[in-house]
Structures are given as C-alpha cells and as structure tokens.
Amino acid sequence: MEYQSINPSDGSLLETFDLSSDVEVEEKLIALYQAQLTWKNIMYADRASALQRLSLLLTEDLERCARIISMEMGKPLPEAKAEMHKCVSLCAYYSALNGGLPEDKEISLNQSKAIIRAFPLGVILGIMPWNFPFWQALRFAIPTIMAGNTVLLKHAPNVPQCALMIEQLFEKAAFPIPVFANVFASHQQVETLLAHRKISGVSLTGSTAAGSTVAALAGKSLKKFVMELGGNDPFILFEDAQLSSALKALIQSRARNAGQSCVAAKRVFIHKSVYEQFKAMLLSAFQHLRVGDAFSGADIGPLARVDLAEKARAQVANAIQEGAVLLAEIADIPTSSSCYFKPCILEVKEENSVIEKEEIFAPVFSLIPFENTTALLAKINSGDYGLGASVWTDDERLKAMISEELACGMIYYNEMVYSDPAIPFGGMKKSGVGKELGELGMHEFIQYKTIYHK
C-alpha cells in the first residue's frame, strides 16, 4: 500500500509516498506521549502564543497550501483559498479563549467537599478525510491540542502532500514542545495504534462504515472516540420561504466542493405551493454552472477520485431506474479525467431507496415536493442519518416545532448548514458521536477526576 497524490483534474500522478515503518510510527507516538506530559502543564496563554505563530504561517503560505489542496483533491482554487482562510479563523478563535479546560467545580457535602477537576486525556489519534484536507484535520487537531493533548494524524491516502504540509507548519510554528505528528499508516497500523496503551482516544471524520469499524476497535480497548460521519441532509423550503435567498444557498451548498460535503443539501424538500416556482428558478440558475479544472475558474471541479465518480454515476442511474426523473444535467464536462461528473437535477415524487437511504457525494440536486409538515418530519426522522438540516421559514411556531422534533445534530434556519469555529459541530444516529468545534469540541478529549476532602 502506498499514499499516492493524483491530480483528479487530469489523472496525473504527482508523487508517491511509502508507508511509515512500524518503527517510525512507534517513535512518533512515544515522542508525542512524552511531550504531552509537559504540554498539559503549559499555561493556556503560552499555548495560544504558539497557535498565533501557526496562524501567521497559514496566512503567509495560504496560496501554496491552497494550490496543494486543489491539485490533490480537485476543488476550485478559490474554494481552496476559502478553506485556508477558515483555518486562520479557527486559530483566531481558540487563541482568544481564556482557558483550555473547564474550571474546577466544588460540591459541598456537610462537613466535607468534593472538587471535580478536568484533565486532558493524552495522545489522540486523528483519522481525517480528503474533502477538506486542511480544515478538517485542523478543526480536530487545534482544539484537541489547546486542551492539553497531543495529536497523531493519519490522513487520507490521496492527500499526502496536504498532510506533510500541515506537519511542517506545526514544526515551523515552534510550539514549546512537539505536539503534532503525521504518519502514513496502513489499516493494520491504525488497528495497532488503537490498541496501543499510549493512545488515549481517536477522532474520525469519514463515512459511516469507516466510523463503525474504528469505533468498534476503539471500544475494544475502551478508548474515547468522536465520530463525524455521513449525512443525507434535508434542505426544507416552506411556503413563506425567501426563494431567491434559498436558491443561492442551495446552489452553494450542493455545488461547493463538487458536492463532496457531509453537510451539503442532499434532499431538497419543497412545499407544493412553491414547488413549481422554485424548480423553475433552480433550472434557470443551474444551466450557468460550469465544470472544469480546479485552476480554470470553473464553478465545479472534478470529484476527488475515479472510484467516487463511478459510485455517484451508479447511484444516479439507480435512482432513475427507481423512478426519479432527470430534469437537467451539465453534459459539457472535461474528458481529461474520469473524475469529472455531470451535475444534475432529479425530481423525486415517489419513494426512492437511493435518494432516501444513500448519501450521494456529488453535485446532485434531488427535488422532493411535500405538503404535510408532520409527515415530512416523520419521514426524515425514520432515516439512519441525522447530521444537519437547512430550514427556510420565518414562522416562529414552525421553527419551535422543528427544533424540538427534528432528529439531527444541527438545524440552520434561513441559511445553509456550515461549520464555524465557535459553533459545536456534530450529528445524531449514524451521522456521528460527539462534537467538534466551539468550547464543547475542545472538551471532548478530557477526563474528570473527583477529589474528595473530609
């Protein structure tokens, strides 16, 4: 097994990397374990100073990092730059916090007292995906490190240059001690790491299948885990929705990153009273989208790998076979690589197992009319996923009901679902366990100790 950097825009092999040896993996883990024993005692202000240095380096190298992202996984260069700016904002948020751990909580017990104190866990393994290769690695690593842990990264095999660049930036930032390391690990090495006594927890962002496997391995060794997994997110338009704003958000949500986002608007539920109007608006705007090379100025780049494009094409074909109607597609796509996918709009008026049960990781707009809100919520809640929902209405009573009843980790009203450093991010059911970002995300990899005084 090798880690290969392949440009999905033209299929060219950029570079190949050998797997890390077992000795190298062990050495990096031991170094992080020893470093964490010191790092956990360093004042938060000193940690923040190092993070500010990292932020400055991310800003200085923003263009170079963005180009690596675009070359390795295909997203248009402006989107890659936006990803890097988001990483800078992540550093700013955690640099500005007053402290890394919750304050001691004292409980009075007649003539005695108990103190509840938080401690960092230790070395945390991060298994990260390719779709936002800098943002998702750093949104896990930075709050985890700022809480007093150290981090070992196992990145996706198709973005090895991104992984190395992140490691180099941490080294250049001159943290007081080494707090971050990258390894090109095999599946067997990951399994070994999860059982290692010096790994205290694991965070994975990826598919539900991958999360289930890793969670089982972590559970076998009783390791704490956070899982940010797949989604089949609903985008719900009610009759009072501001259609022009909703249209702009929908296109951005579904077309961004070539549809390869866990929180993208994958099922578009439209109230029957505005269904035809909104469908016409989408069809008109859709025809102006352009597919092309990541550096061509196109709106949508290729999918990240050939197998991903093949799977998405098969899903669309299966959905049509089950009764979905192809309303439109962008047929004018480059032929320089098999990673290019024809964005399309599907109309789904009957039950369709592909649309209802599968996450399509590509720019596919699935339009579904609805009329009864209670029935709609029951339908959405009956599925396995529960990540995020974008809901378009100004009806406060409706908002209150949806906020209470909809089984998902995040609900955004009159806005697309997105991640922000200050907002806890995570799903329910098979969409994940635990939270990232915000103060809650920083507190995932800590443990509490009860200290009793007579």
Under DSSP, is residue 189 helix (H, G, I), strand (E, B) or coil? helix
Catalytic: 167? no
CB of 94 within 8 A of CB of 421?
yes
Instruction: Determine which one of 87, 91, 162, 262 is catalytic.
Output: 262
Distance between CA 358 and CA 378 in Å, rounded?
18
Distance between CA 309 and CA 361 in Å, rounded?
9
List phi, psi (to 5°) of 186. -85, 170
The C-alpha torsion from 187 through 204 and 87 to 81, rounded to 10°, is 60
Token digits of residue 285? 């705007």
Nearest to 223 by CA among 205, 243, 198: 198
Distance between CA 394 and CA 181 in Å, rounded?
47
CB of 87 within 8 A of CB of 138?
yes
Residue 71 Cα to chain centre, angstroms: 20
R_g over Cα of the chain: 23
CB of 435 within 8 A of CB of 139?
no
Instruction: Determine which one of 167, 228, 356, 359 is catalytic.
Output: 228
Q: Quick one: 404 exposed, middle or buried, by C-beta within 10 A (0-12, 13-18, 19+)?
A: exposed
Catalytic: 91? no
Beta strand segments in 157-229, E: 180-182, 201-205, 224-228
Under DSSP, is residue 310 helix (H, G, I), strand (E, B) or coil? helix
Q: What is the DSSP string of 89-132?
A: HHHHHHHH-S-SSPPPEEEEETTEEEEEEEEE-SEEEEE--SSS
Nearest to 147 by CA among 438, 425, 434, 450: 438
Name residue 407's amino acid.
A
Beta strand segments in 371-439, E: 385-386, 388-392, 410-413, 428-429, 432-433
Q: Which residues are catalytic?
A: 228, 262
